[in-house]
Amino acid sequence: MNYLVTGGSGFIGSHLIEQLLQNGHSVINIDNFDDFYSYHIKIKNTLESIQNFSEFDFTNKKDDDIKKLISLSQSDHYKLYYQDIRDKKGLENIFKNHTIDLVIHLAALAGVRPSIESPLEYEEVNIRGTMNLWEICKDLGIKKFICASSSSVYGNNKKIPFTETDNVDTPISPYAATKKCGEVLGHVYHDLYRIDMIQLRFFTVYGPRQRPDLAIHKFTKLISEDKEIPFYGDGTTARDYTYIDDIIDGITKSIHYIENNHNVYEIINLGENQVINLNEMLSTIEHNLGKIALKKNLPMQPGDVQKTNADITKAKALIGYKPAINFQNGIKKFVEWFLRK
């Protein structure tokens, strides 16, 4: 099959592409190498996703380095495009060059706290950018679409665990609101243009290649360098941290489901159904690093939710989702990766 993945050089996207290629599929990756974090990391992710483990000689001129990456990575089964999803014309040119069976849309501005600083940019990328893709799918008759949503849409809902039928009308960050908006607008494209769609609500994903700004990676790096970690709140905020392999299992099973069913519009939680508070998260990292953190206590950050916990009954029943990596094992694997890289 021919899959188009947006954000395929990021954390989740690069793992997904690796899996799709290993399963014998063809992949088109659209990524703008956004400066939210270093493009060097995204170049490395891309190379690993296509199983190229040779050293990349960075010139530190971003455009030149990405051009080089493109020429290194093209093959019969893999095409990389350096493209922003806000540019509809650019997207159209790519789509028209290929036969696409399914779009998996992971590109987004993904920070919760940064979204409060630049809400308009989040709106442009996460809402307009996503609509550009749907408009093109509508015009070209592409009928299958999987979209990344987020546990953040549940806001500070009190009923735990969160189920897909819960009310999600009270997000507490611009980021969360753009994700909720994506779910709602996606339904419009499903209803009007018969685009089969699955919206996956990811619950704080971690593992090898995790984004460096996310707490698990950030803490591990700072502790290993004997630097202070910014510790938000009193340690009681809690997350249903989800290991990357389980997320890839959930996405690949969603692909299978959407390919074999018609008239699909589903919202699905992908989590582990476990709750780990910040104190436990930190002590698990400390244990695996064999080091104690220097903590800088800071107030709870605006936009941060108190607690997440996924009810994954629907994912198990509908797509056969089977998460397998608990937090202790996942952190062990993550720290091993971190120390190796």
Active site residues: 175
Q: Find the shortest distance in angstroms from Cβ 313 to ligand UD1.
A: 20
Q: Could you tell me the two tokens for 163?
A: 């189920």
Q: Could you tell me the two tokens for 220?
A: 């591990």
Q: Could you tell me the two tokens for 332?
A: 């062990």
Q: Could you tell me the two tokens for 159?
A: 């009923």
By beta-carbon proximity to ligand UD1, the closer residue of 152 and 220 is 152
Helix (H, G, I), strand (E, B) or coil at 61: coil
Helix (H, G, I), strand (E, B) or coil at 80: strand
By beta-carbon proximity to ligand UD1, the closer residue of 110 and 335 is 110
By beta-carbon proximity to ligand UD1, the closer residue of 15 and 79 is 15
Q: Find the shortest distance in angstroms from Cβ 300 to ligand UD1.
A: 7
Instruction: Give the separation between CA 281 and CA 327, rounded to whole angstroms.
Output: 9
Within 194-243, residue ranges assigned H as helices are: 215-224
Q: Which residue has 């990021």 as its token pair?
A: 10
Instruction: Give the separation between CA 175 and CA 181, rounded to whole angstroms.
Output: 10
By beta-carbon proximity to ligand UD1, the closer residue of 77 and 295 is 295
Q: Find the shortest distance in angstroms from Cβ 159 to ligand UD1.
A: 15
**DSSP state letter for 126:** I
> Computed over its alpha carbons, how large is the radius of gyration of the chain?
19
Instruction: Give the separation between CA 23 and CA 225, rounded to whole angstroms.
Output: 38
Contacting residues toward ligand UD1, per CB under 6 A: 110-112, 150-152, 204, 214-215, 218, 230-232, 237, 239, 278, 304-305, 308
Q: Find the shortest distance in angstroms from Cβ 266 to ligand UD1.
A: 19
Q: Could you tell me the two tokens for 139?
A: 């015009």
By beta-carbon proximity to ligand UD1, the closer residue of 72 and 214 is 214
Q: Find the shortest distance in angstroms from Cβ 247 to ligand UD1.
A: 11
Q: Are 219 and 279 in contact (CB under 8 A)?
A: no
